[in-house]
Amino acid sequence: MGSNESGSLVSEPKDPLSQKNINNAPKGRRIRLCKSAPLSDYVGFETGFASGPSTKSFFRNIHPSFRMVAAFLTVYLGLGTVCFYLVGHQLKGKKTNGVLDAVYFCVVTMTTVGYGDLVPNSVISKLLACAFVFSGMAFVGMTLSKAADYLIEKQELLLVKALHMNQKAGPIEILKDIETNNLRYKCIVVFILLLLLILGGTAFLATVEKLSLVDAFYCVCCTITTLGYGDKSFSTQAGRVFAVFWILTSTICLAQFFLYVAELNAQSRQRALVKLILTRRMTNVDLEAADLDGDGVVGAAEFVIYKLKEMGKISLEDVRLVMEEFEALDVDQSGTLSTSDIMLAQQPQTEK
């Protein structure tokens, strides 16, 4: 637990892939869909994923943001290890190797597992542990969760490709399928990973730490949920080497699973709302409310804005801000923008 604050907070653009849809519009459409704006210039994390159907390069080009997270994790763990190695004699409990115990203590603390098999035993080490758990929580929640999302998105592609293996689907079909069922596939991927981590952890604890199967499973559950009672924990040197990697991975994995399930719930609620609003009868009151430019009829774009506002996707404030910009650009006050408008509005000498 404890790595799930920010995964969904960033309401960044959701469909960098949608450029692909333009050529697949249903026949007989009278009004063309406008071209997608160059989103990828502004989007951070998703760019690596959206960079096209050349799936081969996905595993070679690690996104720079991800590399930064990895570097940050190394620095954080390195600093923690040095600190707790220096106050190692002030830690009380089952000890193995000085450096290893410091890394292990650092991971157990930052993930908030907190077994208590090693506890700080002096004022300095206690305050150090407090500082590390707060910063670790913030770091895991705000950064690692997003990095995990990025990694799972890459695994997702493997899963979807495997599922499409028999259908000979092209890269565009695969990307479209991912776009529609993105969260569902992520849930599946993370669930499979979680099962593997639980099985691996149980097997390891049963063989290396010589726990009974029930105890091994119990210790695994206590760890991945960050409960960490501490009556069963990693006490051998080999166990702690394994624990450093396994605890970090499995706690984030479970948190990510809960995150995706919650997102999936929110998405299906949102889709139900969209359906409800799309099929709701339009009345004359709606028509009047949707008439943005007050010309008595509702154009396609006005209708889209009205419905999206009803769905809660955009707010009045969003529309207001853009409308102000529109009015500044519409120099001839015709209510429409033409080439001459933007030429005039954006000339340096024109007062704005």
Q: How far is the CB of 171 from its own copies (least distance, A)?
A: 19
35 contact partners, CB below 8 Å, separation of at least 6: 19, 22
Minimum distance from CB of 162 to its own copies (Å)? 25
Size of the site for its own copies (CB under 8 A): 138
Site residues for its own copies, 21-60, by CB under 8 A, read 21, 25-26, 29-39, 42-43
DSSP-derived secondary structure letter, 93: E
Instruction: Return the number of the residue (192 or 272) whose C-beta is nearest its own copies.
Output: 272
Distance CA 3, CA 252 (A): 6
- Provide φ and ψ at 91, rounded to 5°: -95, 140
User: Binding to its own copies (CB under 8 A): which residues in 152-211?
Assistant: 179
Residues 6+ apart with CB under 8 A from 79: none
* HSE-up of residue 63 (Cα within 13 Å, Cβ side): 20
Residues 282-301 binding its own copies (CB under 8 A) are 282-284, 286-294, 296-301
Q: Find where tokens 């409960």 sit.
A: 227
Q: For residues 189 and 155, is the Cβ–Cβ distance under 8 A?
A: yes
Q: Which is nearer to its own copies, 165 or 300 (CB)?
A: 300
Crossing angle of helices 64-86 and 145-163, in 10° steps, is 130
Using the contact rule CB under 8 A, the part of the chain among 53-61, 76-84, 186-194, 308-316 near its own copies is: 308-316
Residue from 70, 71, 192, 322 touching its own copies (CB under 8 A): that is 322
CA distance 345 to 277: 38
Contact residue for its own copies among 6, 51, 65, 90 (CB under 8 A):
6
Closest alpha carbon to 251 in 129, 101, 144 = 144
Question: Which of the ranges 47-55, 161-169, 240-248, 331-339 carries the binding residues for its own copies, by CB under 8 A?
Answer: 331-339
Least distance (Å) between residue 263 CB and its own copies: 5
Write down the least CB distance from residue 221 to its own copies, Å: 4
Footprint of its own copies on 70-129 (CB under 8 A): 92, 109, 112-116, 119-120, 123, 126-127, 129
If binding is defined by CB under 8 A, does position 315 make contact with its own copies? Answer: yes
Q: Write down the least CB distance from residue 211 to its own copies, Å.
A: 11
Contact residue for its own copies among 58, 69, 77, 141 (CB under 8 A):
141
List the structure tokens of 262: 């919650």
- Whether 291 and 298 have beta carbons less than 8 Å apart is answered as yes
- How far apart CA 36 and CA 261 sit, in angstroms, is 29
Query: What residues between 252 and 281 interact with its own copies by CB under 8 A?
Result: 254-255, 258-259, 261-263, 265-266, 269-270, 273-274, 276-279, 281
- The residue (of 48 and 228) whose beta carbon lies closer to its own copies is 228
Q: What whole-number distance in Å separates Cα of residue 113 and Cα of residue 227?
A: 6
With contact defined as beta carbons under 8 Å apart, do 118 and 132 qualify? no
Cα–Cα dist 83/131, whole Å: 11
The nearest distance, CB 59 to its own copies, in angstroms, is 26
Q: What single-letter amino acid sits at 285?
A: V
- Which one among 68, 70, 138, 192 touches its own copies, defined by CB under 8 A? 138
- Least Cβ distance, residue 334 to its own copies (angstroms): 8
Q: How far apart are CA 166 and CA 306, in angstroms?
A: 43
Nearer to its own copies, 133 or 151 (CB): 133
Residue 86 C-beta: closest distance to its own copies, Å: 19
